[in-house]
Every structure is written in structure tokens, then in C-alpha cells.
Structure 1
Amino acid sequence: MRNHRWIILMMLVLALIPSAALGASRHTVYASVTSGSGSIQAVLVPGEFTVPQGQTATVVRFVHDNPATGYHSEKLGPSNIYSVNLGRYMTDAQGNPLFQLPPGQYRFVVGGHPGATGSLTYDLVP
């Protein structure tokens, strides 16, 4: 049993070395959907984040949950990351979401019913 713990510990340490060696830093941004009022039933609450000049963001994890419907996804969609600078969603020519983001200001958005939430985790790499 002791050998297994040692092996697991070493695997975890080795998995972290590439990010640390590159000077990467991990960040998470959150988005949600809240209740509206009057004729507006739901309000999107985006999470805003900035990729500084000289760095690139690499998306490493995405989660979207909508408790009202039981929806759960870990697949980034074409309308989840909006570039404020470019005025468009970050997709390639075929409409697929981009996982590498250049420097700029972004909004992370999820849809659904009030109570829906999302998280986007990315590494900033020089």
C-alpha cells in the first residue's frame, strides 16, 4: 500500500512540472443565470477575464450545469467565450470553439434557466 501512495504522489508531482516550468498560472472564471423581473425571466451574468499582452490562455476545463433541467456538460460550446475586443464569439472557421485565446478582454457566458452555473478554467502561459 505504501508503494502505491508513493507512485500516486510522484505522478501528481510530475503532472504539475510542465505547467510550473512554463511559468503558467491557472485561473477560473464563473458565469451564471439569475432570475429576471417582469417580462424578463432570466438574466445572464457573465464572468469577465483578461488575457494580458505577451500571454495566451489555454482552456483546460469547462463545466455547465442547469439544475432546473438536470443538464450537465463539460463540452465547451461556440457561444461560451465572447471577445470584447473583436466583438465576436471565439470560434474557428467551422464554428468550433477555440481553446487557445490571444491577449484581450473576454466574457464567459452560460445559458439556461435561473440557477444555471458555469465555470471555465484556463492556464495563462507566457
Structure 2
Amino acid sequence: MNRKAGYSLLEVLIAFAVMSLVLAALLPGQAKLLSRTTEADRRLLAQDYALSRLDQIGITTPLEIGQMTQNYRNWTVEEVITEHPTRDNAIQLLQVRVIISAQGGNVLATVDSIRPAP
């Protein structure tokens, strides 16, 4: 037989068919993984912003009992300051909570802190 080196057209077509079947099986999983990664990035960014806001309360904004809501990006940022119960009334403690919610209302991040009242 006098066969030249290389692949026949049928072998190449079969290889492309097998490769396309493998890619078709992998792509939905990759898309799902990418969307979960995007959601994790959003939650991480919201957590970071909530921690930054928590650090600013009492320094750049007064530490007063109450609730304040503002918008940042497409999020709703809620800052809640309430009294924290103690066993003895020697010192008044305040609970500071920052809650970040997305437009749909699902909570992306919540951080808490207990601080002495000024």
C-alpha cells in the first residue's frame, strides 16, 4: 500500500465531532461556575463596603441611636444603631449594624459591632 502520512477527512471529522460533544457537555457547567463567581465577587465587594461603613460610624458620622438608609451603586445601605443590653448599667453599649441589600431585596452583607456609647 502506498499511503501518505497524515489524517483522512473522515478521521478529522470524527475528531471534530467528539471535540464538539465534549465542549457541549462542559459549557453549561462553565457558565454556571462563572455566574457563581460573579455572585461571590458581588458579595465580597458588599462585605468590604459594609466593613468600611462600620469603621466610619462614630468617626466621620456621629454614633447616635437610630436608623439611616442610603443608596450606593445599586445597593441599599442600612445603618442601624440600637442599645445593647448589659447585666449592669455601669456602661452603656450600642450595637452598630450595617446591612447591604441588592435591588431585589436579598441581603448581600451584614456586619455588627458593639461599641461604648459616647
TM bucket (normalised to shorter chain) is under 0.3
Structure ranking higher in strand proportion: 1
More helix by share: 2
**Higher RCO (CA-CA < 8 Å; seq separation 6+):** 1
TM-score normalised by the chain length of structure 2: 0.25
Specify the structure having the higher radius of gyration (Cα).
Answer: 2
